[in-house]
A and B are shown apart, each in its own frame.
Chain A
Amino acid sequence: VHCIAVDINPAACHATSHTCLLNNVQVDVVCGDLLSWMRHPKSTCVNIKNVSQGNSYGLIDLLLFNPPYVRGPNGECAIVPMVLKSDTIENSTENQLQSKIADAAWLGGGPDGVEVLKKALHQAADFLSERGVFYVLMIDYNYAALVREEINARCEQDVNNFGVINENNSKDYVLLTTFGDGTAKKPLACRRILSRQVPGEKLSVYRVYRPHI
């Protein structure tokens, strides 16, 4: 098993490294923006046995994400961390930059709080292995936004194709068809597996996977 922990905030990366050391476990820590640091499956020679059919899969077997799901102003964007040489900038500038990066972890939610999650779903469609599974935490309005956007996308493509959005009209399942790199869309099934009601909102864990499994 190879475990990799990713965070956009350098201070969080240090904390992860420390926690894993204290627990005597081997985890590699990457300071990066979601999976943008990973080589795309199509550019590697690994797992491309089905690439001729447009099916290239990634290497990630288990992906975990507790995304920033709070609603934010429309157009608010999370910043991407920059690579700077620490010996060339003043401490105050570095502290300001660290602060902006830390804040960025909570920004970019958009009016439905799903902008960061949607970016992760695009990457999951590309980087999950054929039988890979993505466990993600969502608040109820995040899931509603994903379903609404899926319906809108189907509406633009084919108005008669509504039958497979929900399985048996279940509120706990949706087939997402708009995520991936664009050249070969790979549908993702999204199923609610755990829920907890907290004051004012419902938090749920969803299992996201390739529907042919």
Chain B
Amino acid sequence: LLVVELGSGAGLLSAAVAKSL
């Protein structure tokens, strides 16, 4: 599964998604 976040900013969403997956 490849997950990409555009405009990650501080990375809060990326970290949350990575943690939940």
A residues at B contact (CB < 8 Å):
1-8, 12-13, 15-20, 22-23, 25-27, 29, 34-35, 59-68, 105, 120, 129
Contact = CB atoms under 8 A, between A and B. Distances in A.
Interface of B: 1-15, 17-19, 21
A137 to B, nearest CB: 10
B11 A5 contact: yes
A26 B2 CA distance: 13
Dominant SS among interface residues on chain A: mixed
A1 B21 contact: yes
Given A6-B4, A7-B7, A61-B1, A19 B14 contact: yes
A67 B14 CA distance: 15
Nearest to A129: B2
Contacts of A8: 7
Nearest to A119: B6
A1 B14 CA distance: 12
7 contacts: A4-B3, A6-B7, A7-B9, A12-B11, A16-B15, A19-B10, A67-B7
